[in-house]
Amino acid sequence: PMPLLRLWSWRDLRRRACRAPEVDIRLLQSHAIYRNCASSHESVRFFWEALESLNQRQRRGFLRLAWNRGSLPMTEPWEQGPMIELSAKDDERLPRAWPPLFLLLLPRYSSVEACKRRLAAWLMESRRPRFDDADGAEEEDKEEEQPPQPQQSQNQQRHQQQQHQQPATRREVPQEEEPPGAPDVRGLA
């Protein structure tokens, strides 16, 4: 195999063996799939403009949050591209992601500045260490990894708790209310 390596320049070999040196937002955008919106939607354009404004380190951080990888695929075709779905209009809500699906639930921001601000906050929040007790941290991690589920009534929740016989000392984590039109990603995986 060593004589075959001489067929490539060092740059070609590095490109084949290592990750892409830069996160190309235009390339990422060309592989995007849109649910309940179009690439021309105002909030989607705000999102791509906000991503373009990030430096390379922040772009890799975004990929880690949204896709569990720090670089774009090196070869075509990609196994999957980003799936973008818009949620309710809310300049204070952070984006949400389900990395196994590369699904990004993006609030309908009113401006590029609002989108940049919330995207930066999301990236910073993900770098902050958690100081919760072990049970609470595991429970929160499990909730974040799960796609949104339909809300349960209080009776259904009590019944489910009785079935699992949870200890009384376990802390309850309130479910976040999903906006109308939240993605139903069950069965997509």
Q: Which residue has the tokens 């690439």?
A: 39
A 10 A CB-CB count for 168 gives 4
Q: Is the pLDDT of residue 186 over 90?
A: no
Helix/strand number for the chain, H first, E second: 8, 4
| pLDDT tens column, 54-64 | 999 999 999 99
Mean pLDDT of the chain: 76
At residue 46, the pLDDT reads 97
Please tell me the predicted confidence (pLDDT) of residue 52. Answer: 97
> Which pLDDT belongs to residue 8?
83
Say what percent of the chain tops pLDDT 70. 65
CB 37 within 8 A of CB 43: yes
Mean pLDDT of 158-168: 49
Q: What is the pLDDT of residue 6?
A: 82
pLDDT recorded at residue 184: 55
In sequence order, the β-bridge partners of residue 106 are 86
| pLDDT at 169 exceeding the cut of 50 | no
Can you say whether the dihedral through the CA atoms of 57, 81, 66, 97 is positive or negative? positive
Give tens-digit pLDDT for 121-132: 999 988 766 444
84, amino acid identity: I
Helix (H) or strand (E) holding 44: helix 42-52
Higher-scoring residue by pLDDT: 157, 133: 157
The alpha carbon of residue 159 and the mean position of all alpha carbons in its chain are separated, in whole angstroms, by 32
CA atoms within 13 A on the CB side of 89: 5
Residue 39 pLDDT > 50: yes
